[in-house]
Amino acid sequence: MAKNTELSPEQAKYDVGDQVAFTLEKQKFAGIVEKRYTNSFLISFNSDDPAIVDKYHNKVVINNKKLKMIKAAPHKKEEPKKED
């Protein structure tokens, strides 16, 4: 079975490097998008709660519908290569 590589409108809002907010175990966190999956993202974050750190090791996979954008990552515009 072929993988669906098209991005949903919800998922297209986020890209690797974006800073996002999310709720985890009734606590609010902010983190950075590390990797994109089909319907979710791998987010790295910091926590002062030892139980959260022990359970998640500062990384968590969150559904794209549960994320809120804080700050988009700067994106380089690719310039067309000039042929000599």
The answer to the question of residue 23 being in a domain is yes
Question: Is 64 inside a domain boundary?
Answer: yes
**C-alpha to C-alpha distance for 37 and 18, rounded to whole angstroms:** 15
Query: What one-character-per-residue DSSP string does 34-52 give?
Result: EEE-SSEEEEEE--S-HHH
Structural domain of residue 34, as residue ranges? Answer: 13-71
CATH number of the structural domain spanning residue 55: 2.30.30.430
Structure confidence by residue, pLDDT tens digits, 15-57: 999 999 999 999 999 999 999 998 899 999 999 999 999 999 9
Give the closest residue to 10 by CA, choosing from 59, 72, 66: 66
Asked whether residue 78 is assigned to any structural domain, the reply reads: no
Q: pTM, whole model, 2 decimals?
A: 0.74
Give the number of domains in the chain.
Answer: 1
Per the model's pLDDT, the better-predicted residue between 73 and 61 turns out to be 61
Please tell me the distance from the alpha carbon of residue 5 to that of residue 67, in angstroms, as a whole number: 20
Counting beta carbons within 10 angstroms of the beta carbon of residue 27, is it exposed (0 to 12), middle (13 to 18) or buried (19 or more)?
exposed
